[in-house]
């Protein structure tokens, strides 16, 4: 059974309305940005807008710059570290052995 909704399948703003009814579009600039993978992104900006130095590449997510020959470097991601890895950065093996020996002596009641 069909619904009685007359605007079914259309969206707001759809129809024969053109620039005559909406007004003219603002003047635009299209600026090219390149990422370190060589992807080119060309967003459009209002002619009086401040153009950013970098833009995120929609294909790979790396930062993109206006200079094709020297794009910005990709961000450096640190691998996930466990708690033990952080402890090993702060303490040497000798320090760890000394702390372990002290803890074992406490447990045994020697201290």
Task: Output the known binding site for Zn(2+).
Answer: 35, 39, 57, 60
Residue whose structure tokens are 């605007």:
7
Binding residues: 35, 39, 57, 60
Rounded distance between C-alpha atoms, residue 21 and residue 12, angstroms: 15
Alpha helices, DSSP H only, in 1-111?
19-22, 83-90, 93-108
Helices H / strands E in the chain, number of each: 3, 6
């Amino acid at each position: 059974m069909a619904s009685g909704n007359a605007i079914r399948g259309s969206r707001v703003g759809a129809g024969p309305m053109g620039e005559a009814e909406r007004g003219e579009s603002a003047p635009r600039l299209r600026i090219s940005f390149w990422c370190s993978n060589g992807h080119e992104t060309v967003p459009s900006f209002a002619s009086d807008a401040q153009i950013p130095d970098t833009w995120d590449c929609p294909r790979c997510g790396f930062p993109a710059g206006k200079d094709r020959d020297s794009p910005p470097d990709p961000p450096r991601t640190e691998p996930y570290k466990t708690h033990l890895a952080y402890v090993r950065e702060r303490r040497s093996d000798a320090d760890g052995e000394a702390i372990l020996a002290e803890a074992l002596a406490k447990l045994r009641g020697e201290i």
